[in-house]
Chains A and B, each alone.
Chain A
Amino acid sequence: MSLFRQYLAQRLLASAVTLLGVSVIVFLMVRVLPGDPAQVLAGLLASEEEVARLRTDLGLDRPFHVQYAVFLERLLHGNLGRSARTSQPVLEELKPRLRATLTLAVVSAALATAAGMTAGALAATRPYSRFDYVLSLATLFGVSMPTYWLGLMLIIIFAVHLNWLPAAGSEGLASLILPSLTLAAFSVALIARMTRATMLEVLGQEYVRTARAKGLGESLVVARHALRNALVPVLTVIGLQFGALLGGAVLTESVFGWPGMGLLLIDSIFSRDYAMVQGIVLVFSTLFILTNLVVDLLYVAIDPRIRYA
């Protein structure tokens, strides 16, 4: 167990180093972008003095390394600075946005996992059947459909023509349905394909034949022996997909006016709100790193052959 703890400590340390690297890159990246935040913020009608005052106010007149030192020092105290656009602490602005994005991503991931694995497993047990072909076609659609287009189509069908669901916003459960379906579409398809492929491979293994030979029912063979062994690669895809879901949230959120971090990120980039962009990218990176860590730990739970020690 202590070996496991050591492994965990190593991983966490490596994560911290990665985040430090991310902080440097994002800090430089926003500043390399052309455009003066003070000018953008003040608007076209502002006078030169107002713009200059704003620049000083935001600390943009200081050299890069001083700005980074300030940023890093604050970061170590858990302070992400203040948004230039809203004058509010970035952390305060981020909390409700993070909640919204996570809600969307988690619901979509759950949806994608349940639907994707079920469909994939079913297809694997009936390879080259009609169901299998339909599924291949559906997953092809799923991976190639642009999020933006799919989102608008769902809005037109379910909000405009049927008037069953809200077209935008985040009031109540109903408003979660269309954005999470849109966001899940790509991952469902990918997870279904991955599950089908690994399941097909596993179903051809000798231990599966043994299980069948000893008289186990087909459903038990699939659920207990095949699916479990097929889970490791599928889990990897799900883990990676969760990261992709967070990224995909940027488009989905803007189509559905979902008040999450993706939407905020776009607004912040277009207004060159450095502190906000840095904060969002750091939060996204942290989530990504944590997801990977959790996936690695889950391997142990699923496959007793994997040991981190």
Chain B
Amino acid sequence: MRTHRTRRFLSPLGLAALAALMIAIGAGPAGAAGTFRVAVGVDLDTVDPAQMTTTTVANMVDYVAETLTSLGPDGKVSPWLAESWTVSPDGLIYTLKLRKGVTFHDGTPFDAKAVKWNFDRLKDTQVRVPIRAPFPIKETDVVDPSTVKVTLTKPSAPFIAALSWTTSALVSPASIDKQGNEYKNIVHTVGTGPYVFKERKKGESFTVTLNDKYWGKKPTYDTVVFRIVPEAATRESLILAGQVDLIVLPPIADLPALQRNSALKVLLAPSDRTIFISLNTTKSPLGDVKVRQALNYAVDKKAIIQNVLFGAADEMDAPMAPSLFGYCKAGNYDYNPDKAKQLLTEAGVKPGTKISFHHPTGRYVQDKEASQAVAGYLREVGIEPELQTMDWPTYVSIINAGPAEKTVHQLAYLGWAPAFLDSAMQAFQFWSGYHPPAGLATSFYKNPSVDELILAAEKETNADKRKALYCDMAKQVWSDAPWLFLYVQRFPIVYSAKVADVGSLPNEKFAAIYARPTN
């Protein structure tokens, strides 16, 4: 039956032989029992925790290397390789008690010496550590084999939360100079995690196998294979064909169809990625708060979420994602074009005023489409946006051109996702010390009282007081509107209905280490 159909289909091309071969090979690509197969869109640029920049890459490395604290699905940070800690009253010295009886995959004991070695490496400027800023480590001392004392260069309240991010994951000091590893560049990660680094085929796959000696709860699958499949439509085909068990980021327009498919489960995982349009407050007419508020009223965020993002986002109601520590609801700019027009008139903005609008393409989910939708709404209130689409590196060079007088952008579509769930990294965006080129606060927003709140929160060690400081900041920023607040993106994960216990972390990671077959 099959042969017959094949021949009819292919023989005009003279490929019947190939078709026969195809069946002979019997490419029934079902995975071996005990293998969990994942398809992701980006290749691993590095497997060295210290050099980590990309969340999905970190997600894979997390199977192998673990951190001192851990981020839970609820966004709470809990003890992991560190069992407990104390902080000195000045917020400078952290004393951490380490879990005992843990060893790295190469048999090296996990102890205070190993932590010191890793932290010394983290602060060593010889090593490339792009996300070094959250770890202002001055020195690390071994108190006893299971206690380390970490002294910071400045008080940093979110330090414990930062320790849950993959940059600070611990690798075996003995693994350096082995398996191609160098002190400056680790290519074969040896951690303490539930899985062991097995094989990496660049551009193709990353394979890990079960760590029999894992200190914690053992996962079900013997092997996990991460396959690198850049094309979203191909990832979708892989999960539809049952050739993988989990994919991230399917083609967004297919979400409704995937949700109807009973063989699959779709998780629209809440994330911490805020998507907004940065309003350059140094460029007229955006210096006027009325204009900035008008732009916020002019855009129907709900409609864009529904029609452009197919539900994979939530409207922003504060300048940070709800999953961040320090979040509090600040308000709503409900769609109101009349109010927008009125505010623009009050500010003296004439209909037909041209405003440049830069946006990247292929960087954020539906970035180009959403930008076009926003531009459409702005036109309706009399603003003439001049859309400029560009690839990511070009875009970054435009919005980060230097001090305000050197920049040309007025509106800039951007996403911001703190590596760990604390408002500290989000607040950078509203802090005048982070204006380009020092950082990427591309709206050049400056409000002395907001600056003060941010600096105070950074130092405050009392959690409740910190929260209140960020809440005050959020409300002030919301009414000053240095952004056109859009939405908090969701991170779509699709997995086979034959698999259970798949979840997500609120920072765009899938939580599938303890995935298991349903039957």
Query: Taking beta carbons and an 8 Å cutoff, which residues of A are in contact with B?
Result: 33-37, 39-48, 50, 53-54, 57, 85-88, 93, 96-97, 100, 114-115, 118-119, 134, 138, 152, 155-156, 159-160, 163-170, 172-175, 177, 181, 188, 254-257, 259-260, 263-264, 266-267, 270-272
Contact assessment for B27 and A168 in the assembled complex, using a CB-CB cutoff below 8 Å: no
Contact assessment for B22 and A34 in the assembled complex, using a CB-CB cutoff below 8 Å: no
Contact assessment for B234 and A36 in the assembled complex, using a CB-CB cutoff below 8 Å: no
Contact assessment for B23 and A164 in the assembled complex, using a CB-CB cutoff below 8 Å: yes
CB distance from A23 to the nearest CB of B (A): 22
Among residues of A, the one whose C-beta sits closest to the C-beta of B400 is: A39
Contact assessment for B234 and A255 in the assembled complex, using a CB-CB cutoff below 8 Å: yes
Interface size on B, as a range, is 35 or more
B225-243 contacts to A, CB under 8 A, are 227-231, 233-235, 237-238, 240-243
Contact assessment for B234 and A115 in the assembled complex, using a CB-CB cutoff below 8 Å: no
CB distance from A69 to the nearest CB of B (A): 25
Among residues of A, the one whose C-beta sits closest to the C-beta of B180 is: A88
Return the contact of A34 from the options B15, B394, B437 (Cβ within 8 A): B394
Q: A39-B396, A48-B439, A167-B243 are in contact. Are A270 and B391 (CB under 8 A)?
A: yes
9 A–B pairs (Cβ distance < 8 Å), ordered by A: A34-B390, A36-B393, A45-B419, A47-B132, A47-B133, A100-B203, A118-B14, A138-B13, A181-B18
- What is the CA–CA distance of A167 and B230 in the complex, to the nearest angstrom? 13
B136-164 contacts to A, CB under 8 A, are none
- What is the CA–CA distance of A50 and B122 in the complex, to the nearest angstrom? 12
Return the contact of B203 from the options A43, A46, A138, A260 (Cβ within 8 A): A260
CB distance from A169 to the nearest CB of B (A): 6
Contact assessment for A259 and B243 in the assembled complex, using a CB-CB cutoff below 8 Å: no
Q: Count how many pairs of residues, one from A and one from B, have CB atoms less than 8 Å apart in the complex.
A: 181
Residues of B within 8 A of A54 (CB): 128, 130
Q: A85-B45, A164-B23, A166-B29 are in contact. Are A42 and B394 (CB under 8 A)?
A: no
Residues of A within 8 A of B12 (CB): 134, 138
Residue B131 interfacial (CB < 8 Å): yes
Residue B397 interfacial (CB < 8 Å): yes
Among residues of B, the one whose C-beta sits closest to the C-beta of A37 is: B393
Residues of A within 8 A of B230 (CB): 254, 257, 263, 266
Among residues of B, the one whose C-beta sits closest to the C-beta of A39 is: B396
Return the contact of B13 from the options A57, A115, A174 (Cβ within 8 A): A115
Q: A166-B29, A188-B13 are in contact. Are A160 and B241 (CB under 8 A)?
A: yes
- What is the CA–CA distance of A47 and B125 in the complex, to the nearest angstrom? 13
Residue B87 interfacial (CB < 8 Å): no
Among residues of A, the one whose C-beta sits closest to the C-beta of B425 is: A45
Contact assessment for A45 and B130 in the assembled complex, using a CB-CB cutoff below 8 Å: yes
CB distance from A171 to the nearest CB of B (A): 8
Residue B33 interfacial (CB < 8 Å): no
Contact assessment for B130 and A35 in the assembled complex, using a CB-CB cutoff below 8 Å: no
Residues of B within 8 A of A166 (CB): 27, 29, 243
Residues of A within 8 A of B419 (CB): 45
Contact assessment for B393 and A272 in the assembled complex, using a CB-CB cutoff below 8 Å: yes
- What is the CA–CA distance of A34 and B416 in the complex, to the nearest angstrom? 22
Residues of B within 8 A of A86 (CB): 45-46
